[in-house]
Each structure stands twice: as C-alpha cells, then as structure tokens.
Structure 1
Amino acid sequence: MSEELNLSEVLRVRREKLKKLQEMGRDPFKIEKYDQTHFSQDIKENFDAMEGQEVSIAGRIMAKRTMGKAAFLDIQDKQGRIQSYVRQDAIGEEEYDILVTYDIGDIVGVKGTVFKTKQGETSIKAANVVLLSKSLQVLPEKWHGLKDQELRYRQRYVDLIVNPEVKKAFLIRTKAIKALRKYLDDRDFLEVETPILSTLAGGAAAKPFITHHNTLDIDMYLRIATELHLKRLVVGGFDRVYEIGRLFRNEGMSPKHNPEFTTIEWYEAYADYEVMMKECEEVVAEMAMAALGTTKIAYQGKEIDLTPPWRRISMTDIVKEVKDIDFTQVKTDEEAIAIAKQHGIEVEKGMKKGHIINAFFEEFCEKTLIQPTFITHHPVEVSPLAKRNQDNPEITNRFEAFVNTWEIANAFSELNDPIDQRERFEEQMKQKEAGDDEAHPMDDDFINALEVGLPPTGGIGIGIDRLMMLLTDSASIRDVLLFPTMKPL
C-alpha cells in the first residue's frame, strides 16, 4: 500500500514539474523536431575518428547521477545507450537548475563534443540539453522491473524500453524478413497484395472470423490463407508471385498460436513441389544467416541445424518407422479404421484411410521431428488443393516442413485440373455438411480460373512467427509478435 502511495506521489510531482515548465514557456510538447546527427553505438565504435567532434544525439534518460555542479545522464536511443556529461558552467546556471529536475524516462536532445571520461567511458560533453518530451509515468525498472509477462505483452512500448533483449528479438525478425524478400526478389518474384476481406474463406482448413459489410448487407470473412488469390494471379500471367501478410483464424490460443499471424506464400509457374522443397530449405538457411550469422541455432537447450539439405521422408514411411504399421498394405477404409481404434486414435464420422494415416502421423510422429524434416506425399483426403501423385493417386505431391516438432511450411505441386478440383471441393462440402467446420468451401470462381488455365505450378506457405520463435529462442509466439492478442482487462 505504501508503495502505491509513493508511486502516486511521484506521478503528481512529475505533473507539477511539467506545469512549471509550461508556465516558464518551456513546454516540451510544443517542440516538433530535433536534428540528430549521430547515434550511440556509431559514436562508441568510431571514437578514434570522432573524438572532439560536435554531435547531436536524442533519446530517453535511463539513469541520472547529479553531483553538485555536474550531472551524468545515460541516454538511450535506437542503437543503445551513451553517457552525457553535463556541467553547470557549460550550459549555464539557469539551464542546469532546470536539468536537475528532469526525470528518468524523459526524452532529451543533447549537443556536445565526444570525449572519454577518466574511467575510459565514451561520452558526450554537453554544451546544450533540451527537454523534448516529459514522461509522466515511471519506468518499471524503478519499481522492481517489468517482470509480469502479461503486462509486458500489454505494454510492449514499455517492455521495449526496459528490456533490451526484447528489442533485439524484433531486430532479428526484421533482418530475417529482409533476407526472405531478397531471396525471392533476386529470383524475379513479384510481391503483391491480395484481399483480406472476402466472401469466402478458402485456401486452408481453418475456422474464419466473420464480419458484416453494411452497404452490401452480406457476411464477409477475414482471410485464412492467401493461396487462392495468388494462384489466380498465376493464371493471369504473373509466373512468380509472393505475399507476406497477416492471416486470421478463429481458433485456440497457445504458445504456438495467435488468432492473427504472419505468413508468406509464393507460387512459381512451371515448378513442382521438389523445387519448393529446395527453395524452402535455402530461404530458411539464408534467413538464419542474415539474422544470426549461422545456420546452427540453439532453441530452448536443443541444437538445431538448419543447413540444407534437410531430411525427406513420406508420411506413410515415417508412420511405419515410428509405429511399425505399413499403411501401403492396408486396402480398405474399414481396415484402417480398425487399426486406428486398436491404437487409441479417435475415429470421427466420415473418416477414410487417408484421414487415419494423417491422424497417426499427428499423434505419434510429429513429436519426433526435432531436426528439419520434409514430410512428403500426404493422402489426397487431407490435401484438397494438391496434385495427385502419378504413380499412386491416393497420395499427393505435397510436403510439410517440420522443425522442433512444429510445422513451419506447407507446399505442393498445385492441382490445376478443374474437374478434379471441383470433385474435391464437392467432397469437402460433404464433410462440411457432416459437421466439419474446417472443410473447404466450394469456390466456383476459383474453378473458373482453373478452367481458364493454370500452368503447372509449385506453391508454398511458411509460418513466419514460428520460424521467428526458433531464430530468437523464444518460448511463446507472443514473444515474436509486437502486439499479441490479449483478453481485455
């Protein structure tokens, strides 16, 4: 209780300081700009060349030490922290009296010369200090630090100030995504934007968010995938396209799931799933190198090697490897269902052999996939948009990439047969009528696009956020989202 009273008093005093400054005609909130010439880390790294040079820096006061007629301010800018040494005789008595009232958290501009203190610390000898913004709150580190994880997510702006490792994670994310874009741009891919709002939620098996368009008086859906629009563009003659963007799925929340998340999908005419596999492992490796300088990463105590080539194994083969069940020898749906029941797999209405194989994989095999692995040749029942394998029409030319037991990518040789596609959509509609909320809807316009003609095409989607969890050694997806979804207080 006493701490709350003390905090309340501190906040009151800060407002009084602001009021006095405003009465003096020194309202910091009226300042519109400040010319920065240099930043903290650049000055430190280039001290020999910059010693004695005049610089202007700006940032937040993170520490303040006043000793009579001199003060030390630790200023934090976008690169880090640097010390400013302020003497009363250098800035004037009146200015110094105002400066000593500044608080931790205030944002200031400092103009002065670069030097080193007797302790050897690179610093700025201030000739002028100006208050650019008054902080009316108290930074958490003054009150035992920002440790509450949920509060950190809710107040990310504070988290970024007081926890440098958080800022580092998002800088890693930015470097990795830049490398991703560069990889595709260098290969003549075109970055595009497709609708977020649509009258159909297609391209994946997921529950959509539903909203309503008042003017048209129709329900609309936030996209669950970018796939179908991107493939329409390939039909239209853009042979290589990609989109990095937000998807929305009205499903559960967990350390690996957020209702809105970032993915990339790219589509390449005249390529197949084998090309997608090569590009997937290459681009992930390049992202790791750009962000971390290595393809061998440590995640939560595990060593993971992202160096290509990655292991490749079919879904039926890994089920055989892990459970010693060879589904290539299972001839009927009934036989597959009986095997599922023997192994404790929950059998739902309408499940066929392909669904059972996929259920075995998810239940028993996913958890074994720590090192990067491509799982290939999924059953056609769980792959409504993938091309059938020519040698075995029960499976598709599809793969999912797994790292640390997580699916990080899904890709296939795209189904471009409009007759087959319509039949699969019709089968999906039967599953929807049987109660499967995630079954794919019928999309007549997409069928029409395929009838116009989609060339042989490879396509892939990669979950950016899960990949960023790996690259930043983050235990939760919320740690790699600047503003994760939170339940209102």
Structure 2
Amino acid sequence: MSDSSSSTRDELRAARLEKVQQLQAIAMNPYAYKWEVSHHTAELQDKYKDIAAGEEVEDHVSIAGRILARRVFGKLAFFSLQDETGTIQLYLDKKLINAGMPDFEGAFNHLKKLTDVGDIIGVKGIIKRTEKGELSVKVSEFAMLTKSLLPLPDKWHGLTDIEKRYRQRYVDLIINPAVRETFRCRAKITAAIRRYLEDKDFLEIETPVLQGEAGGAEARPFITHHNTLDMPLYLRIATELHLKRLVVGGFERVFEMGRIFRNEGVSTKHNPEFTSIEVYQAYGDYHDMMDLTEDLIRTLAKDIIGTVKLPYGEAIVDVGSAWRRETMQNLVKDATGVDFLAFDDFDTAVKAAEDAGVGVPEKVNSIGQLLNEAFEQKVEETLIQPTFVTEYPVEVSPLAKPHRDKPGLTERFELFVVGRELANGFSELTDPIDQRERLEAQAAKKAAGDVEACDVDEDFVTALEYGMPPTVGLGIGIDRLVMLLTNSESIRDVIAFPLLKTQNKSQSEDE
C-alpha cells in the first residue's frame, strides 16, 4: 500500500472513530450486546420470491448483517445488507423510521450520517418488493450493532491480492461469497464423511497429537519440548500407529479425522498443517478398502455437490463410473517402455531408467525405489481420472503387508485424481518380526541423515506382539478431497487460515 493510500485509510479510520463518539453521545451503543434475529436473508428471498413489484406484506421480520452498499436520496435511502446466507435490500424511509424510533430524535438522520459500509446493524420492518422488483425489508427500526473502523476493499475490485486474501481471511469471507460457500461445503463434506463411516459401524476415537515417537509415515516432524516432564515430543505426522493399537485392543472398525503436522515445503498441494482421516477395519484387505474409498467419494459427490461429474480446472472428473485399478509396474511400463521388476541387476535398471528420461537421486538404492521414482516422475501427473495404483514396492511401504503372491511388493494402493495423490491404503503388516525389521531399516536411514525416516516405536511393536487381526487401513487427505469437490486450485483456498510467512512490521503497515 502506498503512503497516500495508508494516509487515506488512517483518515477514514479517524472519521469512523469520531462517529463512535457521536453514537455514544446519543446513547446508541456502537458495540451492542444482542439482537433478536427472526429470519436470515436467504430465507426471506425464498419465502417471498413470488410477491409482485410494488406489493407489501405485513409480516414483521427482524434481521441483522453487514452493510455492503449505501445509496442515500434525501428522505429515502437504500442499503444492501449481507448476513451469513446472502443479501437483501433495506428500504429506509425517513418518516417511517422517525415514527418507529421516537426515543431517538432524528433517527433517520443518524442512520444516514453515522453508518458506513462495513457496519453491522440490526433492523426490524415488513416485506416490500419495490417498483423496480427488488425484494426489500421496509425498515421501521434499526440499531447499530458493531461500528466498523476500517473500510472494506472497493466493491468493484474486491480483495484481489492472493497473499492478502489468505492473510486477512476474514475480509476475504466478507467480500467473496464464493469463499464462504467453499468453507460451508467443506463443513458439509467432513460431516458427511463421519455419517458415512458411522453408518458402517466405524467408531471415531481421538489419539494423541503430542507423541514420543513420530511414526506412521515418512515425513519430517515438528519437534517441541515438555517442560515439566523434561522430554522432547513430536507433533504427530500420522494417526496410524495409535489407531492400530486400538485394533489390537479389540476395536474392529475405528477412524479419526484430525490435524496432522509435517515440517515440509509449502505449495499449492502442501500445507505443513493439514487434515486427514485414517480408517482401520479388522478382517478386511486392501480390496475392501478400495471399494469403500470409491463408494465414499462417489457418495460425497452425489449428496454434497449434486453430480458425479466434477469440473476441475479444464477437466471433468467422472467419479460415477468404475474407477481404474492398475499396478505401478504396468503404469510405469506403459509410460517408459521399461519393466523395472524384470531386472535382477540394480545398475542395469538405473541405466534403463536414465535412458527413459528418469532422474535417479542418490538416495535411490534399490529397484523398488527406482520403480517408485519412475512412477512419480513419469506417471503421477498424467492420472486425471480416478485411478487406484496398486502393488507398491516394499522399500517404500514400511507398514504394508507383503503381497501374498508377488515377492518384493506389498498389498498397497494409492488413489490419484487430477495428478495428485488423494488417498493411501494397504493391508496392514501384522507380523511383529517383519515390522521390527522394517522399522529398524527406517531407523538406519534416519541415523544416516534422512530427516523423513522414523525411529523404532517399541511400544507399537510390543502391541503387535500381542496380536493384531488381519486389518486394512486407509488415509485420505481431507484438504485435497475438498479441493477436488469444490474445484479449488490451491490447498490454501480450502484451509481457512493457512500457514504464511510472518510479516515484519513495515510489510504489515504497507498493507
């Protein structure tokens, strides 16, 4: 913001502060305690949609909301009032308001002079459709509920600075009804997911956010410290290991939806703090969980969005048809012409990968890891329609059960839509000896400098030694799912308050 713009805003704020004093001088509290609301604007728009132009209905209503626009014509004024559900016009007649508020001499003049765009007011009146066809509340009484000290962005240009929209989400919500609708839709989605699972006898149980060992995924954790116990703790990177402890304890169907914390980069697809749901079902395998995942997302699309053909960017994602299920091996072979699992020699496989245009990072030291790298580089972004990618290498699946027929692979799937991973699931590893060996391999990677590898969670291994039934698990990124269902380009568009770099004082003042 330029110096002149900042100066103008300061002048406007000072003028509004003066109006606060003027309101107090006439015994009208600029920051009221309560207002009885009888209707919301959307309810009025629907209920009275059929009344004719020029008609009045002697139904008394009481509404409240924020002034978005003001037009004043001497003895008559028109305001646009917005509440959570929409907008409606206020028809403000001097004679009617002055008669309806005899205790406030010159009430109409106070309304004209002491209100501004952005103020929150309450009004009472009857319903009228103007001669021009605008449904209105014909006001007989008003009250200042909250005096706004800062002006809203220009209504024609809106809040267009993307960074400022995320940083001042409250203003974004005021100005952009579509943003409010996105978060309303998100709330409906999460509620519907819980209903869906509860109807299938899944029980939601909360697990710790602060953990002694960060496990259940390959991710760099946030580290904190408990002062009284004098011990380091991690913010959870997954809910998996505690939920599986519950399965060991006898719960056959459990889930948890909650915040996950991973100390990683920020992009349109990643936020260090995000929401996921993990689901565990005893006596099932990964085929069962693919069926559940497909049915869940299709149900959400039908019930919340109203269609199984979801627009996303330039694509139309069809979640109504049967979803493709294909192995990682075959997808990579189709994309590169290389069948990596046919190689016995790692160096030969590396050369084939490089010849196919696959970059091979130093950390890749097995054919399984090489196959996964080729998939991420050559296949992942091409999967626009819902696709279950199956049979992941054991090297990149430390918690998944070995494939019953294919050595070196696991019974794992990931769901990809519009080139992004949306869900991850697998038949859970229940062999405590095998699990310890894989966790020890992870610990060795961590000791060698891999910040995303985890240590051995001894208590989790102990739990497995008591015996966990055959179990299948699923994790879904709620933010990415909401992105898909609401056609949102960035993860920050579906997180109300995404993590942003702290501004210094001068940057904040420039805004």
Establish whether residue 419 from structure 1 lines up as the match of residue 418 from structure 2: no
- Alpha-carbon distance in structure 2 between the residues aligned to 1:341 and 1:187: 47
List aligned pairs for 1:345-424, cutoff 5 A: 345-349=359-363, 351-424=365-438
List aligned pairs for 1:23-422, cutoff 5 A: 23-29=25-31, 31-47=32-48, 48=50, 51-92=57-98, 94-101=106-113, 102-141=115-154, 144-343=157-356, 344-349=358-363, 351-422=365-436
The one-letter amino acid paired with 2:415 is A
Distance change >3 Å, CA 293–CA 143, structure 1 → 2: closer
Q: Residues 91-117 of structure 1, C-alpha deviation per residue, up to 9 Å, x if partnerless? A: 215211111121010001111111211
Give me the CA root mean square deviation: 1.6
Asked if the contact 2:360/2:370 (under 8 Å) is kept, the reply is no
CA positional deviation for 1:349: 4.6
The one-letter amino acid paired with 1:481 is I
- Alpha-carbon distance in structure 2 between the residues aligned to 1:36 and 1:462: 39
CA positional deviation for 1:347: 4.0
The one-letter amino acid paired with 2:110 is I
Asked if the contact 2:64/2:83 (under 8 Å) is kept, the reply is yes
- Alpha-carbon distance in structure 1 between the residues aligned to 2:92 and 2:475: 54
The one-letter amino acid paired with 2:97 is I
TM-score by length of 1: 0.97
CA positional deviation for 1:350: 6.3
**Higher deviation after alignment, 478-487 or 90-99:** 90-99
Alignment: residue pair count: 488
Residue number among 496, 501, 510 corresponding to 1:482 in the alignment = 496
Q: Residues 7-45 of structure 1, C-alpha deviation per residue, up to 9 Å, x if partnerless? A: 32221110000011122222222x211110101011111
TM-score by length of 2: 0.93
Q: Residues 231-280 of structure 1, C-alpha deviation per residue, up to 9 Å, x if partnerless? A: 11111111111111111110111111111011111101111100110111
The one-letter amino acid paired with 1:420 is D
SS in 2 for 1:268: strand
SS in 1 for 2:370: helix
- Alpha-carbon distance in structure 2 between the residues aligned to 1:366 and 1:350: 18
The one-letter amino acid paired with 2:493 is D
- Alpha-carbon distance in structure 1 between the residues aligned to 2:471 and 2:67: 55
Distance change >3 Å, CA 146–CA 94, structure 1 → 2: same
The one-letter amino acid paired with 2:66 is R
SS in 2 for 1:51: strand
Asked if the contact 1:230/1:241 (under 8 Å) is kept, the reply is yes
How much identity, in percent, do the aligned residues show?
A: 51
The one-letter amino acid paired with 2:342 is Q
Give the structure 1 partner of residue 506 of structure 2. none
- Alpha-carbon distance in structure 2 between the residues aligned to 1:8 and 1:440: 52
CA positional deviation for 1:136: 0.3
- Alpha-carbon distance in structure 2 between the residues aligned to 1:123 and 1:199: 60
Establish whether residue 430 from structure 1 lines up as the match of residue 436 from structure 2: no
Give the structure 2 partner of residue 465 of structure 1. 479
SS in 2 for 1:32: coil
Asked if the contact 1:271/1:456 (under 8 Å) is kept, the reply is yes
SS in 1 for 2:379: helix
Q: Residues 29-62 of structure 1, C-alpha deviation per residue, up to 9 Å, x if partnerless? A: 2x21111010101111111599321111000011
Asked if the contact 1:299/1:470 (under 8 Å) is kept, the reply is yes
The one-letter amino acid paired with 2:458 is D
What runs of 5+ residues in structure 2 fail to find an aligned partner? 99-104, 504-511
What runs of 5+ residues in structure 1 fail to find an aligned partner? none
